[in-house]
Homo-oligomer: A and B are copies of this chain.
Amino acid sequence: MLQVKTPEEVWELIRAEFVPLPHRSEHVSLPESVGRVLAEDITAEEYVPDFDRSTVDGYALSAADSFGCSESVPAILPVTGQVLMGESADFTLPKGSCVYVPTGGAIPKGADCAVMLEYTEDYGDGSIGVMKPGAPGMNMIFRGDDVYPGKLILRAGRVLSAEDIGALAAVGRTEVPVSRRLRVGVISTGDELVPPEQKPGPGQVRDVNAPMLTAMLGAWGAEVKNYGIVADDEELLRGKMEQAAQECDAVLVSGGSSVGVKDAACRIIEHMGKLLLHGIAIKPGKPTILGRSGNKPLVGLPGHPVAACFVAKLFVLPLLGRLLGREDAQYPVTAELTESVSANHGRAQVNACRLEQTEKGLLAIPIRSKSGLITQLAGADGYFIIDRDCEGLPKGAKVNVFMN
């Protein structure tokens, strides 16, 4: 019999027992790549911009030609032309002159700064007065300032944000190498379960875990294959789990809350591969099983939806992320508890809460929930964790809230 493990030991176990899957990349178009996991480091192959640009509407000139000028003694320079947007400036500015340049326009050779329109006066005779001295590099972006060949733009493993898409567009990477989506098989077990669209008869309840896990995994970026509801029967469950392990990259079985079914799930996992874990010192969520068949995770989640939800967030998503080499840390927000919360189990306790922004700061309103009462989680904004050594938190305590 395996010992119950602390959350930290479980995360350690995940890192030790599972490795990122090799050869899983596919190419998708730029807009499709948002939220996907980058499969390779992206390095630039060119200069961005490919020319020196002005960051203002004004005049390109040699800063030296404006030194010492002021509003009362402007530097007077002939305007020898203008740069048009989207066109090159393939001429050399004669010493002692200037050209008009729009924001984003090219700065010609011979010029080393741009002076804003506001600090110049057009004399109408083909010359201007510069009333504020320039300095080399002023109001300019140089060739390669943004990107140069060989510059590392993004690292493999990153979950691509809109900003990242912008950077990829800037360097012309319109086909993006991303990790293929993981396919996750979801199985619900329990003689008492009926599908959500069915009205439960006496003694029956609707299957909450399959739609909840499907939504969670889908939002995270996995492709979910549902294997429906399996009765509490070891042979039937074994068949479904083996089929799912064949067809998917990971298998989640939820339910089987009775001791017998949990034992059956353990036997099936041992038969299919290796049982790694039986029990996590967390509340709710203790009756969790983890094993693997090769590098494929086989997870037995608690039947209670609230427990299944927390275990999936805390352990299953990081485990799936590990398979992709996915790097996305989640950082908590700090909030103040509006009431005390007791905890006294020798287990870490996960507690859902709502958040409320007030003038005094951000408040965390704990949601009291008997294990299994899923509708009490509806409307929750996040959750916080009370340490196993902590006997509870007083009203006013600061908690770290992880967002849903």
Q: How many whole Å from A267's CB to the nearest CB in chain B?
A: 18
Contact of A372 among B90, B146, B218, B376 (CB under 8 A): B146
Interface assignment of A346: CB less than 8 Å from any CB of chain B = no
Interface assignment of A133: CB less than 8 Å from any CB of chain B = no
Please give, as numbers and ranges, the residues of chain B lying within 8 Å of A333 by CB-CB distance: 331-334
Whether B51 contacts A167 by the Cβ 8 Å rule is no
A196 to B169 alpha-carbon distance, docked (Å): 5
Jot down 27 A-B pairs with beta carbons below 8 A, ordered by A.
A31-B211, A33-B215, A50-B205, A55-B370, A84-B191, A85-B258, A86-B190, A86-B192, A87-B202, A103-B257, A104-B257, A104-B303, A153-B375, A153-B378, A162-B219, A163-B377, A165-B211, A165-B212, A166-B209, A166-B212, A167-B208, A167-B377, A169-B210, A172-B197, A172-B198, A174-B197, A329-B355
Question: Could you tell me which residues of chain A, from 151 to 182, have a CB within 8 Å of some CB in chain B?
Answer: 151, 153-155, 158, 160-172, 174
Please give, as numbers and ranges, the residues of chain B lying within 8 Å of A50 by CB-CB distance: 200, 202, 205
Given A104-B192, A155-B379, A373-B141, verify A309-B86 contact (CB < 8 Å): no
Contact of A205 among B87, B104, B164 (CB under 8 A): B104
Interface assignment of A3: CB less than 8 Å from any CB of chain B = no
Please give, as numbers and ranges, the residues of chain B lying within 8 Å of A193 by CB-CB distance: 86
Whether A258 contacts B103 by the Cβ 8 Å rule is yes
Please give, as numbers and ranges, the residues of chain B lying within 8 Å of A309 by CB-CB distance: 162-163, 166
Whether B192 contacts A172 by the Cβ 8 Å rule is no
A207 to B307 alpha-carbon distance, docked (Å): 47
Instruction: Report the copy number of this chain in the oligomer.
Output: 2
> Which residue of B has the minimal Cβ distance to A212?
B166
Q: How many whole Å from A142's CB to the nearest CB in chain B?
A: 10
Please give, as numbers and ranges, the residues of chain B lying within 8 Å of A373 by CB-CB distance: 141, 145-146
Q: How many residues of A contact B (CB 8 A)?
A: 109
> Hey, which bits of chain A sit against chain B, CB under 8 A?
30-31, 33-35, 44, 46, 48-51, 55, 57, 83-90, 102-106, 117, 141, 145-147, 151, 153-155, 158, 160-172, 174, 190-193, 196-216, 218-219, 224, 232, 257-259, 303, 305, 309, 329, 331-335, 352, 355, 357, 362, 370-380, 401, 403-404
16 new A-B contacts at CB < 8 Å, known A104-B190, A166-B374, A170-B206: A50-B202, A55-B370, A104-B257, A141-B370, A141-B372, A154-B378, A154-B379, A155-B379, A158-B379, A162-B309, A163-B378, A165-B215, A166-B208, A169-B196, A170-B205, A331-B357
Please give, as numbers and ranges, the residues of chain B lying within 8 Å of A331 by CB-CB distance: 333, 335, 355, 357, 362, 401, 403
> Which residue of B has the minimal Cβ distance to A174?
B197
Whether B163 contacts A212 by the Cβ 8 Å rule is yes
A146 to B49 alpha-carbon distance, docked (Å): 60
Please give, as numbers and ranges, the residues of chain B lying within 8 Å of A83 by CB-CB distance: 203
Given A31-B211, A162-B213, A196-B30, verify A167-B257 contact (CB < 8 Å): no
A164 to B216 alpha-carbon distance, docked (Å): 10
Whether B57 contacts A164 by the Cβ 8 Å rule is no
7 shortest interchain CB distances as A-B pairs: A88-B202, A167-B378, A166-B212, A162-B216, A86-B192, A34-B215, A86-B191
Whether B170 contacts A85 by the Cβ 8 Å rule is no
> Which residue of B has the minimal Cβ distance to A173?
B196
Whether B170 contacts A202 by the Cβ 8 Å rule is no
Given A86-B204, A146-B374, verify A258-B213 contact (CB < 8 Å): no
Q: How many whole Å from A276's CB to the nearest CB in chain B?
A: 24
A85 to B104 alpha-carbon distance, docked (Å): 71
